[in-house]
Amino acid sequence: MTDSANVEYRIAHLQERLAAGELGELGIRVAIRGNSVTVVGTAPTTQCREELVRTVNEELAGMTVHFDIAVADSSAPDHPEELA
């Protein structure tokens, strides 16, 4: 198996693992970018983001991974919205 095929296999396995777990509904995208992997999406909580990062690092150990995972702000606004 070539390195490229190995990376694609590991990413496919990661995506299956994410889809099967509680993180499956997050809509996380995983893409190969040159010699690294980029993980992009939004997590509902900091804990979900931490679990996602841990899972990705387990599955893609030894690879360079860049994370662009935002945490959704679900807190109530602290001021009223002003409409023009």
What pLDDT, in 10s, does the model give residues 7-60? 899 999 998 988 887 767 667 899 998 889 999 999 888 998 999 999 999 999
Q: What residue type is assigned to position 27 of the chain?
A: G
Of 80, 18, 12, whose CA–CA distance to 49 is shortest? 18
The pTM of the whole model exceeds 0.85: no
Torsions phi, psi of 74, nearest 5? -105, 15
Of 18, 34, 22, whose CA–CA distance to 66 is shortest? 34
Residue with the two structure tokens 């860049």: 66
Measure the CA–CA gap between 34 and 40, rounded to whole angstroms. 16
Residue 77 pLDDT greater than 80, yes or no? no
As a CATH number, domain 3-71 is: 3.30.1340.30
The set of residues, in sequence order, having a beta carbon less than 8 Å from that of 5 and lying 6+ positions away, is none
